[in-house]
Structure 1
């Protein structure tokens, strides 16, 4: 049994596709209101804030994948993420289930230095602090040998379907709607984005590779380092029309945050757009050389329907 905890997001749905097609059809989908992705899926309603419900959801599972996402709300993150991580760890320990945790990079330093699996955490801001806390909760148990687990870390998303990210909404979605894309902070710093189906396939592969446990993994990305300006050039090329863009400075987000709570929450992330973002997934590429990564051109063409 392969169980996905937090099964309604894009990452979880793509993971369900990979597990169904490449691993086994015995898949349990856990969330408050789970919906089948395939006819053979087993929906399991549960609130991961409830320890007993989490333990029941994990029971009988060989591998559990923690893929829960929450809205960009610092207070909600502080209240819920640590509890859900504690409940998930306890449930996996109780049932002898392997755990694969889908993590992000918020706790990494806000610099242009390459990010690798052992980059020290330097969280700045409430959301980054929460992400560092829950990652360390699991790392402590892994070091103590009380759980068999792997951490799969991903940079900012871009992708199809319900993929949510600042880049998707401000750039690619606007281009699809024939609107001018809005570039956050700088069009000339190098970015690292991960194609959401690649992230999910990589996580599923790690979850079914015995020697991958006990480690942190950076999920597979196109190793090209493109700026937003270069991405817009690709968009122009694949759509056959010249696309102009507007760069939105940090001060505009700051002012917007005075009037809009969602903009204020996103503002914590903006300093990361000032400098190059170099996320390194060479460890994954060396361990899984047969894995084919989606290139930026292929991903952008798929989003734009070109």
Structure 2
């Protein structure tokens, strides 16, 4: 029975991945600074900034998933992400563990067409430059044959259990649950790709079981064509029993919000993803693994049902 270790336990993707691994009969180890106990699952407290703690946490692991999320602040990312990646790479090399890095798409920057695994890194934000740097660090190790690793890349996500970690969760489903009009950033009439969290979790597991996937970057499944914000909101309104309408938050207003809200200030540099089309192509993964992403109609329905069940 293989041991799968989740660095960044209790986060959105870790919570979706855990039942996938359990149903496949694998042993699971949850690692975070303050792990929440899960019955029948090993939990270890560790800080990924400290190599000795990471090494102890991954010892004996067949597969390690780097799912860590840190404070959404560019200065903290610049300081901590290179240390985290270096520490995890070295620990996995020492333990002989396969590494799967759950990455985002910030390093691509603004793209005029669909974003694929071969799209050049042209970050237009501080956080995008950080993600490009840590991705290149791992890519260099993979090219050198020093580590068995995979980069699994995703964009923003939605799904059951996703609330404050998703723009769709906060702006659409949570607002509708409160009887408010849905909101959207900057432009609700351009396509905006999303990953459905159950699909992302299943995809991560498929990658973990594939020898052919090693040493490569894979885009996790996202439905194509992407919906516009207005189309996404219409589907959500139908399932939430809410009014089909949207309040678009203009760019200037988000700038003002940033004067008073640190998170919105940090988000501002990423708003090219909402101002212009942001189409994420996962066809390579879909063809290789014979995987069909969950239709928006079905994913939105399941997400709405989860929100409606919350107190």
TM-score (norm: length of structure 1): 0.95
The question of whether the paired residues in 2 share the 8 Å contact of 1:98 and 1:147 is answered with: yes
Deviates more, 1:159-168 or 1:137-146: 159-168
Q: 2:175 — aligned with what? A: 174
Give the whole-Å Cα distance in 2 for the aligned partners of 1:119 and 1:180.
36
The question of whether the paired residues in 1 share the 8 Å contact of 2:35 and 2:45 is answered with: yes
SS of residue in 1 equivalent to 2:22: helix
Flag structure 2 segments of 5+ consecutive residues without an equivalent.
none
The question of whether the paired residues in 1 share the 8 Å contact of 2:187 and 2:275 is answered with: yes
Give the whole-Å Cα distance in 1 for the aligned partners of 2:203 and 2:37.
22
Q: 1:26 — aligned with what? A: 27
Give the whole-Å Cα distance in 2 for the aligned partners of 1:100 and 1:122.
23
Q: 1:15 — aligned with what? A: 17
Q: CA deviation at 1:213?
A: 0.8
Q: 2:246 — aligned with what? A: 245
Give the whole-Å Cα distance in 2 for the aligned partners of 1:50 and 1:100.
19
Does residue 85 (structure 1) correspond to residue 110 (structure 2)? The answer is: no
Q: CA deviation at 1:34?
A: 1.2
Deviates more, 1:240-249 or 1:113-122: 240-249
The question of whether the paired residues in 1 share the 8 Å contact of 2:181 and 2:243 is answered with: no
Q: Residues 213-260 of structure 1: CA distance to partner in whole angstroms, max 9, x if unpaired?
A: 111100011223210111122123334443221111111111111122
The question of whether the paired residues in 2 share the 8 Å contact of 1:103 and 1:151 is answered with: yes
Give the whole-Å Cα distance in 1 for the aligned partners of 2:162 and 2:236.
20
SS of residue in 2 equivalent to 1:212: coil
SS of residue in 1 equivalent to 2:234: helix
Flag structure 1 segments of 5+ consecutive residues without an equivalent.
none
Q: CA deviation at 1:292?
A: 4.0
Residues 140-151 of structure 1 mapped to structure 2, 5 A cutoff? 140-151=140-151
Give the whole-Å Cα distance in 2 for the aligned partners of 1:69 and 1:239.
29
* Count of aligned residue pairs for this structure pair: 303
The question of whether the paired residues in 1 share the 8 Å contact of 2:177 and 2:240 is answered with: no
Q: CA deviation at 1:74?
A: 1.2
The CA RMSD over aligned residues, in Å, is 1.4
Residues 56-67 of structure 1 mapped to structure 2, 5 A cutoff? 56-67=56-67
Residues 210-249 of structure 1 mapped to structure 2, 5 A cutoff? 210-249=211-250
The question of whether the paired residues in 1 share the 8 Å contact of 2:286 and 2:292 is answered with: no
The question of whether the paired residues in 2 share the 8 Å contact of 1:192 and 1:277 is answered with: yes
> In structure 2, do the counterparts of structure 1 residues 10 and 167 end up closer, same or farther at CA, with 3 Å as the change threshold?
same
SS of residue in 2 equivalent to 1:69: coil
Give the whole-Å Cα distance in 2 for the aligned partners of 1:272 and 1:228.
12
Does residue 51 (structure 1) correspond to residue 57 (structure 2)? The answer is: no
Q: 2:281 — aligned with what? A: 280
The question of whether the paired residues in 1 share the 8 Å contact of 2:192 and 2:273 is answered with: no
Q: 1:187 — aligned with what? A: 188
